[in-house]
Amino acid sequence: MKRRRKIGIILVTVVASLSLFACNAGDGKTEEQKGALSTPHIHGLSYSDDGKTLIAATHHGIYRYQNRSWTGPVGESHDLMGFSYTQHGIFASGHPAEGSNLPDPLGLIISNDEGQSWTPVKFQGESDFHYMTAGFESGAIFVWNEHPNEELETGLYTSQKKGEKWNRVSTKGIDGKMITMDAHPQKADALVVGTDQGVYLKSGNKKDFENVWTGIQATALLHDRKNPEKIWIGTYTDQPHLYHLNIRSKKKKEVPLPFDHTNDAIQFIAQSSSNPETLAISTFDGNIYTSRDGGGTWTQVSQGKGETDETNPSA
CA-closest candidate to residue 281, choices 262, 265, 296: 265
Q: What is the pLDDT of residues 267-303, one digit of tens each?
A: 999 999 999 999 999 999 999 999 999 999 999 999 8
Mean pLDDT throughout 31-49?
Answer: 73
Mean pLDDT throughout 151-173?
Answer: 96
Mean pLDDT throughout 232-243?
Answer: 96
Q: What is the pLDDT of residues 87-130, one digit of tens each?
A: 999 999 999 999 999 999 999 999 999 999 999 999 999 999 99
Domain boundaries, the chain: 29-41+130-302
pTM, 2 dp: 0.88
pLDDT at 312: 55
**Residue 16 pLDDT > 90:** no
**Residues forming beta bridges with residue 148, ordered by sequence position:** none
**Residue 144 pLDDT > 90:** yes
Q: pLDDT-derived band of residue 24, with 50, 70 and 90 as boundaries?
A: very low
Percentage of the chain modeled with pLDDT above 90: 79
φ/ψ (deg, to 5) at 75? 65, -155
Cβ atoms of residues 214 and 243 within 8 Å: no
Cβ atoms of residues 136 and 87 within 8 Å: yes
Q: pLDDT-derived band of residue 137, with 50, 70 and 90 as boundaries?
A: very high
pLDDT at 159: 97
CA-closest candidate to residue 97, choices 80, 78, 125, 75: 78
**Residue 36 pLDDT > 60:** no
Number of Cβ within a 10 Å radius of residue 95 = 20
pLDDT at 138: 96
Burial class (CB in 10 A: 0-12, 13-18, 19+), 80: buried
Q: What is the mean pLDDT of the chain?
A: 87
pLDDT at 204: 77
pLDDT at 261: 81
φ/ψ (deg, to 5) at 174? -90, 130
Using DSSP's 3-state secondary structure scheme, residue 260 falls into coil
CATH code for the domain defined by 29-41+130-302: 2.130.10.10
Q: pLDDT-derived band of residue 33, with 50, 70 and 90 as boundaries?
A: very low
Using DSSP's 3-state secondary structure scheme, residue 63 falls into strand
pLDDT at 304: 84
pLDDT at 121: 97
Number of Cβ within a 10 Å radius of residue 49 = 14
φ/ψ (deg, to 5) at 61? 105, -170
CA angle, corner 157, sides to 2 and 170, nearest 5? 120
